Structure 1
Amino acid sequence: METTIDRSNPNRIIEVLAAFLKLGLTSFGGPIAHLGYFREEFVVRRKWVKDEAFADIVALCQFLPGPASSQVGFVLGVSRGGGLLGGIAAWTAFTLPSAILLLAFAFGAANFSGPMGQGIIHGLKLVAVAVVAQALWGMARTLTPDRTRIGIALAAVAGAVFLDTAVGQLGAIAGGAVLGTLFCRDTNAPPGHHLDFQVRRRSAAAALALFAILFLVPPFMHGMGNHALRLFEAFYRSGALVFGGGHVVLPLLETAVVGPGWVSHEAFLAGYGAAQAVPGPLFTFAAYLGAVAVPEPNGVTGATIALIALSLPGLLLVYGTLPFWDGLRRRPTAQAAMKGTNAAVVGILAAAFYSPVWTSAVLMPLDFFLALAGFLLLIVWKTPPWAVVLALAAVGAISAI
């Protein structure tokens, strides 16, 4: 992909900000829908890139951990804006609208203490059941299409269930990569076109080094007693391990914030349900979690730390990989490892669907009916997620009266 950008021209940055702010305000439907919005806006309408280049950008972002739609937007911003500043502008404009909405929900969540408020919260938890079931259904069909990858997914379920910690999830991902390398090889190199993002290798190497430092150093600093550092480390680690899309972050964040008691199960699932009703990337759920977490820092400060920490590893990795991707994507070993990793994340999401999503929300036959109805509305009738959120929250409020 060719870039003929005047790096000193701020008009390109303003153009990137305006384009992605529009999408940040209107892009409902989750990561897959976001890619459709991006293609329509930047390939068809604005003609920033060609279809072939767009497909290769999507492949890169699916290959790496992190929020795929936000990473695609970041790469498009780098390309159009002529460098890192363009990528930051794209990510900021696409992310802020939903982050602000979820921060507002976090501040208002304390008002949901009466019977009607609790009914709304329970309705949002049922939304989480329907949405995670939809994500699990779609990902299983795409990422585990054969017996080998189904077996890898089942092994990941076992690892996530019987070793219910971050170590179990990391082991499942690493094990999936190893099994994929051994059993999912395909000797045909993936088709594609030459990509040139004009990112210097030195800058890319610095981004990769920073990713590694932030991943390896903070865990050894827990003894300092700084909760802001622990909050950053927990969200950064989760963001560094999210393969397969935004919904896979659910089990990682549940382990990171519910496990140590920073956020309750009820508040976690209510926020996750509310996140389905806002446009933009699902990773802005982190803003809600950082705002409601205890002890301090929380509120706006906690939301900022959590949101940046969750998104940063994926952005560092994609920026650091841009100059090397053209050669790496053609290697059968890398493709096989990714197939195994993707199958493993299906298993991790399946384990999270059972606990805490299902066990915390489905408490009676009516709950099962409402969750099933929400799932069918999403899968069969293609109802927008925000409409399902409003419907189940309203039913929850009415049933609590």
Structure 2
Amino acid sequence: MSRSGSVAEVFGVFAKLGLTSFGGPIAHLGYFRDEIVTRRRWLDDERYADLVALCQFLPGPASSQVGFALGMLRAGVAGALAAFVAFTLPSAVLMIAAAYGAGLLGGTLGGGLVDGLKIVAVAIVAQAVWGMAKTLTPDRQRAAIAVVAAVIAVLLYGAGGQVLAIVVGALAGLWLCRAGSEPGAGMLRFPVSRTAGWVCLAALVALLIGSPIVAALTGSGAVSLFDAFFRAGALVFGGGHVVLPLLDAGVVSTGWVAPDQFVAGYGLAQAMPGPLFTFAGYLGALSDVGPGGVAGGVVALVAIFLPGFLLLVGVMPFWNALRARAWAGALLRGASAAVVGILAAALYDPVFVSGVVDGGSFALALVCFALLVSWRVVPWIVVLVGAAGGVLLAYV
């Protein structure tokens, strides 16, 4: 993949994704694959799975990290920032607005809309699993790795199970997937030097250690707010819903945000497109500590996303070196097969079990899946169909 695109192109693509990517981080990976791999062919499934595996290994918002890296690969550092801003801005603005009392969803209409968006996520993730399985598990060995990874991810629910599944898949790949491309073939060439990588890793460590010290010495509410959200973003694997306990500990247990406000904001966040981490903007705007309002929301948003991006950029140049090793191709083929298994496990729980609750929702999920796979309808139209179908089911 060459850096052949413009910043404006990257911003436009991710702005559309930011407005239409409902369903959480796993669903976002499906939207990304459909738009970037299938429709625009910026890279192939092998490289895409390689990138997903890298981001799954790291703490932080996995889907936002994938989007950030895709933007960097397409248009350099400016492209990475454009991808992040475009993908994050729509839900961030809505969540900060919600902190001012905007009741965006409620009653039967709102509940049906949320249910419909969950059903769309079922179809999107199913399409991603279907497409990636055909490419990344073409033989018995890699199909077996995917099945084992899915079993691990289902039985050991959470980010720990996902990381373990990728580790097991990578080790199995060393044994079972030796045949294939030459070392270093098809690698992702990130435009990041080793010096820049070390600087980012040093900045991450400095902020983790220094922020609480500065907050204690100065008594600054803004620094305390930054530290709480930075620490949450740095310590969570997989992103999405996994960050909620850390946010609860950071702002509810400390008395900064009332429990009912936290729950209401979380419910609203389920209906937002884009990353669930924008929930931080809502909490920062409501927090009794820090500047509050829009400024507090911006501080919280920057803080929660920053550690994941610093870590991602920090490991990029070393990932290239690893990728060039003689055994790396086999390891990454196994890890890529494991990614398929993880997506399949996520398709079951939480996507399917939370979205499909009766015969009507199952029928709507099938319709959305057929529109995507057989009719090749663009995802944003399928989102509208699913949302309208969810509202209809709620009233029927």
> Do the two structures share a fold, i.e. TM-score over 0.5?
yes
State how many pairs are aligned.
Answer: 340
The one-letter amino acid of 1:94's match is A
TM-superposed CA distance for 1:333, in Å, is 0.9
Per the alignment, residue 154 of structure 1 pairs with 147
Q: What SS does structure 2 have at the residue aligned with 1:332? A: coil
d(CA) in 2 for partners of 1:159 and 1:354?
A: 13
d(CA) in 1 for partners of 2:244 and 2:166?
A: 20
- 1:327-366 per-residue CA deviation (whole Å, 9 max, x = no partner) reads 6544331111111111222222222221121111211100
The one-letter amino acid of 2:244's match is V
Per the alignment, residue 254 of structure 1 pairs with 241
d(CA) in 1 for partners of 2:191 and 2:122?
A: 43
- 1:169-192 per-residue CA deviation (whole Å, 9 max, x = no partner) reads 222121111111122113651575
Change (3 A) 1:101 1:257: same
Per the alignment, residue 315 of structure 1 pairs with 313
TM-superposed CA distance for 1:101, in Å, is 0.9
Q: Which ranges of structure 2 fall in alignment gaps of 5 or more residues?
A: 21-30, 56-61, 217-223, 250-261, 290-295
**Selected match of 1:95 from 75, 84, 95:** 84
RMSD of aligned alpha carbons = 4.3
Q: What SS does structure 2 have at the residue aligned with 1:302? A: helix
Residues 74 and 315 in structure 1, CA contact (< 8 A), matched pair in contact too:
no
d(CA) in 1 for partners of 2:325 and 2:40?
A: 28
**Selected match of 1:393 from 387, 390, 395:** 387
Per the alignment, residue 327 of structure 2 pairs with 333
State the TM-score, normalizing by the size of structure 2. 0.69
Per the alignment, residue 145 of structure 1 pairs with 138
Equivalent residue runs for 1:182-193 within 5 Å: 182-186=175-179, 188-190=181-183
d(CA) in 2 for partners of 1:119 and 1:2?
A: 43
Per the alignment, residue 70 of structure 1 pairs with 68
Q: What SS does structure 2 have at the residue aligned with 1:111? A: coil
Change (3 A) 1:164 1:331: same
The one-letter amino acid of 2:32's match is G
Report whether the alignment pairs 1:181 with 2:174.
Answer: yes
Q: What SS does structure 1 have at the residue aligned with 2:275? A: helix
Per the alignment, residue 360 of structure 1 pairs with 354
Q: What SS does structure 2 have at the residue aligned with 1:169? A: helix
Residues 179 and 330 in structure 2, CA contact (< 8 A), matched pair in contact too:
yes
Change (3 A) 1:388 1:272: farther
TM-superposed CA distance for 1:165, in Å, is 3.4
The one-letter amino acid of 2:145's match is I
TM-superposed CA distance for 1:105, in Å, is 3.8
Per the alignment, residue 301 of structure 2 pairs with 303
Equivalent residue runs for 1:1-400 within 5 Å: 17-26=7-16, 30-34=32-36, 61=51, 64-65=54-55, 67-78=65-76, 87=77, 89-106=78-95, 107-108=97-98, 110-186=103-179, 188-190=181-183, 200-207=193-200, 213=205, 229=227, 231-236=229-234, 249=238, 253-257=240-244, 267=266, 271=269, 274-275=272-273, 284-291=274-281, 299-318=297-316, 320-321=317-318, 325=320, 328-400=322-394
